Chain A
């Protein structure tokens, strides 16, 4: 091992860590706003990468059809569940938002896809397809039990994870895909070689984190999300619609997930079940931050990436063991330093 190898490993670790950071931050965000430990976050990443891959190959992505299916189900389920208080205006909103818009998107995508659209357009279409899935998942699975305990929500999240894995298999098939890099080519810097895509990942992560910071600190919507995170009841009392904040949190999660998917899609082969392990590493970072602090999550995620990369060099067979064992001392440390408050008592 010499310094060049160490630098290579460090670079590799930081880039992977950047992706874990994005996923870790969304886990913290969702947990803070809705108290859901969102296990299936990685699926959004996988779906983002697979949707982009379908568009690149000129096929209509499975997510377009999935969006219609989920949209119609959400509309039907909500109408039945709230039939007593259902007003024509809300029915109209749902008909447009959950039925008409997904069908319109499906038609648009299936006309554009065969022309193999430019990369920026493909990425935009990918986001347009995956982002609405976030709120739909929230409405179908979590909204009806929004006031349940963290444990119940967690169990529901595991169920959603399996459902999403199964849907991914149906809509994308079992084979893996790889995307074109956003920027092809390699840039030498001293002894190091930076892949164009690595630079894109670092830049996109930094930009997204900055945008999130701005959103939470300086926008009304972001402040409403923070208020809900701090105290749901209080937020409701001052007129913040907590249902809407849940949907917004999930839309953000789907957006960041899909974007991280399109970023890693050119580095590795992504198949319908690739997302889970990636988000699990983000989860390790989120745990290190006590599911509360965004900056600590980012630092911890990069730490996880670097640890993983060095573990791969020194003991590749035990790499995952090393990374996931990390969570045990972290949990012990957290339970020692944080004052214990039992939120189940509410």
Chain B
């Protein structure tokens, strides 16, 4: 451990020397390679190797630190990279609490910052503090509306909600409570469960007693299989919806035939190979996947693509920022922020970005597709 700290310090020192001799753009990345959000942080870290090494004639250097899903550590990482590595652009972290903490650091040090979690509160409303923060993932609202549309089109009149007790479930619940009534769909029951629960029989019995036309499970990763299996075991055969948190093949691997027929929204990169050629994210998405799988020899995960999108946003804005100042200066950083804010129609793996002074989330309906699991395979719903 001490050895690795020493190496990290040493490489930090080398970067410091680097900045004084050669103008280069420094990007600081803090992700959760360990701790509860490791399933997100590991593919994010694995995506760093394929990021561009040179943008607009400037060498780009990346510093990657692990924050162990700990907000305090994430803040310390960010401050260290800002002070020692003179970073021009900050990306991180993998979970919402750490991300929220970084928003303050970015504002205080006037460093443009790209968040990789979907929570709307990270960039909304855009005020003095959030001015420096941009967000790559889709708002939960975009995802929830797509589900509401699909339900309404398929004659679903009532839905029951079963979600995590944490921020993910809460964020979804808030959006569902807005999106569903807007389409005339009644919410019959709201039940919650823990990521670590071994059984959800109690919740499922209560949900089925309210006899909904469909059930929406707001959970992420392979944990989302268990509630769906329990619902099926109780003899429920109406539609089951999931959220974009299950957009990994691991969900199908663990779920098997229990998750057949599930409908869930996802970012376009998840099904890049199925997208029509006209979709703006198809080319970028396929390039991302190809590079990721060549570098890591493992299947890509959607979370890593957010990191690539964060970098696309910055890469597009380096040129105008260079006119304001040299990398490593406050002028360059504020120029970069201003340029990102004027991003228009930038295609990326998760959609097309259009930022404005009032909108730092930047994505529209092109950032989500609906997927149905049929015979253990994903199929794209029109």
A interface residue numbers (CB < 8 A to B): 5, 8-9, 12, 15-16, 19, 166, 169, 173-178, 186, 193, 195, 264, 267-269, 271, 273-274, 276-278, 309-314, 316-317, 319-320
Contacts and interface: CB of A to CB of B under 8 A. Distances in A.
Contacts of B42: 173-174
Contacts of A313: 202-203, 205-206
B198 A16 contact: yes
B196 interface: yes
A154 to B, nearest CB: 22
Contact of A174 (B38, B192, B226): B38
Contacts of B34: 166, 169
A12 B194 CA distance: 16
A269 B202 contact: no
Contacts of A178: 222, 225, 254
A309 B202 contact: yes
B221 to A, nearest CB: 6
B233 interface: yes
Given A264-B198, A312-B203, 14 more contacts: A9-B205, A16-B199, A19-B198, A169-B34, A174-B38, A268-B226, A271-B222, A277-B196, A310-B202, A311-B202, A312-B197, A316-B202, A317-B192, A320-B165
17 contacts: A8-B201, A8-B205, A12-B199, A12-B201, A19-B198, A175-B222, A176-B221, A176-B222, A177-B254, A178-B254, A268-B198, A269-B221, A273-B36, A309-B202, A311-B202, A313-B205, A316-B202
Contact of B225 (A5, A15, A195, A269): A269
B116 to A, nearest CB: 16
Contacts of B250: 175-176
Interface of B: 34, 36, 38-39, 42, 165, 191-194, 196-203, 205-206, 209, 221-223, 225-226, 233, 248, 250, 254
A273 B35 CA distance: 9
Nearest to B34: A169
B164 to A, nearest CB: 10
A32 B378 CA distance: 53
A309 B230 CA distance: 14
Contacts of A319: 192-194, 197, 202
Contacts of B206: 313, 316
Contacts of B199: 12, 15-16, 267-268, 309, 312
B209 A5 contact: yes
Contacts of B233: 186, 193, 195
A243 B199 CA distance: 39
Contacts of B197: 268, 312, 319
A9 B36 contact: no
Contacts of A269: 221-223, 225-226, 254
B359 to A, nearest CB: 32
Contacts of B203: 312-313, 316
Given A5-B209, A269-B223, A277-B194, A176 B254 contact: yes
B198 A267 contact: yes
A316 B191 contact: yes
Contacts of A274: 196
A105 to B, nearest CB: 27
A270 to B, nearest CB: 9
A322 to B, nearest CB: 12
A15 B225 CA distance: 19
A8 B198 CA distance: 15
A269 B202 CA distance: 18
Contacts of B38: 169, 174
Contact of B202 (A12, A193, A273, A320): A12
Contacts of B205: 5, 8-9, 313
B69 to A, nearest CB: 11
A1 B197 CA distance: 22
Contacts of B39: 174-175
A278 B196 CA distance: 8
A239 B34 CA distance: 46
A169 B66 CA distance: 14
A276 B35 CA distance: 13
Nearest to A311: B202
A342 B244 CA distance: 54
For the complex of A and B, list the 9 residue pairs with the smallest distance between their C-beta atoms, beginning with the closest. A312-B202, A313-B202, A176-B222, A174-B39, A12-B201, A277-B196, A317-B192, A174-B38, A268-B198
B167 to A, nearest CB: 13
A277 to B, nearest CB: 4
A314 to B, nearest CB: 8
Nearest to A274: B196
A169 B33 CA distance: 10
A340 B128 CA distance: 59
A186 B209 CA distance: 21
B172 to A, nearest CB: 14
B379 to A, nearest CB: 23
A120 to B, nearest CB: 22
Contacts of B193: 312, 316, 319
Which of A166, A175, A186, A320 has the most C-beta atoms of chain B within 10 angstroms of its own C-beta?
A175
A276 B222 CA distance: 18
A176 B223 contact: yes
Contacts of B200: 312
A312 B223 CA distance: 17
Nearest to B224: A269
Most buried by A among B200, B201, B248: B201
A9 B230 CA distance: 13
B304 to A, nearest CB: 13
A301 to B, nearest CB: 13
Contacts of B226: 267-269
A310 B226 CA distance: 18
Contacts of B222: 175-178, 269, 271
Contacts of A271: 221-223
